[in-house]
């Protein structure tokens, strides 16, 4: 009986030690997961917005203990698909209208964290030095995709060159939405990526900011820069389920910081600031 009791006591003691070891291992694993959550991946299209991540966002998050990996893409589809399937924690490349339409068509839940300074579309010309010189019948290269075309027509209207119909649908806009064209401008739709080259072949070319920068153009050389509506400014986007996670809060805080704006002012000249940034002045 004594031997049996001794054996049972030893078994119980070993079981308790094993339990403690398991608990410690579990705690250690929890700490590891906690540490892993500080490693985040942010996607962006190659160009100014990948630069914005590396130069203006990454350094701030690193001071908060994050490890940031930038993942670059060559199109506007994969960054959202990669985000929705968990390969990314966030992305930066798109405006509100595109994000909402993409999410609806692909049945995924995306949400914006915050809008960022964005390179505006500009009217460029190698022929005219000012908009006052634009002649009757001038050729104008414009984007052939609806999203950029809506901005194009708005910029031409702001420049006083045309008027457009009210309440145009930015996803279905066309040249037919031009109401008045007093200078009889000849609109020439082409791929948006080709618009920088069209500066030399057309009388005017309306070039989106990201393509202008990719072509090494100076935004400040434009005859007129777009007064961009906030819906067309790029934003940091996450999965809706992640909106309240700590990394999302820290990412938003980084963009809101004075350090971020200082970098924008110094290294992203010509970028239009969103309303929230202008209002805090």
Same fold, 38-118+231-279 and 122-227: yes
Location of structure tokens 């080259």: 197
DSSP state of 120: P
The pLDDT profile of the chain, 281 residues, written as one tens digit per residue, is 444 454 445 444 444 444 444 444 444 434 444 444 699 999 998 889 999 999 999 999 999 999 999 999 988 899 999 999 999 999 999 999 999 999 999 999 999 999 999 999 999 999 999 999 999 999 999 999 887 898 999 999 999 999 999 888 877 888 889 999 999 999 999 999 899 999 999 999 999 998 999 899 999 999 999 998 899 999 999 999 999 999 999 999 999 999 999 999 999 999 999 999 999 86
What is the pLDDT at residue 19?
Answer: 46
Query: What's 38-118+231-279's CATH class?
Result: alpha beta
> Could you name the CATH architecture of 122-227?
3-Layer(aba) Sandwich (3.40)
**H helices present in the chain, as ranges:** 2-36, 48-52, 58-63, 78-84, 96-106, 146-158, 198-201, 209-214, 246-256, 258-267, 275-279
Angle formed by the axes of helices 258-267 and 246-256, nearest 10°: 50
Name the residue among 161, 160, 150 with its Cα closest to residue 186: 161
* Structural domain boundaries in the chain: 38-118+231-279, 122-227
């Amino acid at each position: 009986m004594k031997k049996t009791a001794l054996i049972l006591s030893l078994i119980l003691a070993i079981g308790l030690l094993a339990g403690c070891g398991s608990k410690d291992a579990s705690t250690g694993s929890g700490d590891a997961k906690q540490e892993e959550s500080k490693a985040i991946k942010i996607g962006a299209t190659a160009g100014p917005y990948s630069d914005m991540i590396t130069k203006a966002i990454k350094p701030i998050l690193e001071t908060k203990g994050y490890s940031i990996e930038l993942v670059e893409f060559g199109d506007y589809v994969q960054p959202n698909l990669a985000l929705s399937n968990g390969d990314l924690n966030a992305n930066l490349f798109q405006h509100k209208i595109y994000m909402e339409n993409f999410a609806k068509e692909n049945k995924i839940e995306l949400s914006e964290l915050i809008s960022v300074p964005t390179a505006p579309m500009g009217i460029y010309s190698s022929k005219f030095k000012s908009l006052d010189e634009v002649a009757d019948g001038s050729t104008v290269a414009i984007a052939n995709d609806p999203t950029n075309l809506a901005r194009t027509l708005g910029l031409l209207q702001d420049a006083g060159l045309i008027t457009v119909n009210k309440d145009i649908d930015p996803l279905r806009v066309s040249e037919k939405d031009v109401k008045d064209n007093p200078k009889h401008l000849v609109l020439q739709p082409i791929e948006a990526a080709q618009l920088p080259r069209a500066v030399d072949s057309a009388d005017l070319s309306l070039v989106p900011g990201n393509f202008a920068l990719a072509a090494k153009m100076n935004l400040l050389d434009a005859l007129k820069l777009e007064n961009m509506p906030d819906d067309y400014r790029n934003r940091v986007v996450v999965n809706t389920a992640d909106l309240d996670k700590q990394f999302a809060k820290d990412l938003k805080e980084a963009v809101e910081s004075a350090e971020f704006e200082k970098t924008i002012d110094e290294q992203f000249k010509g970028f239009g600031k969103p309303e929230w940034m202008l209002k805090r002045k």
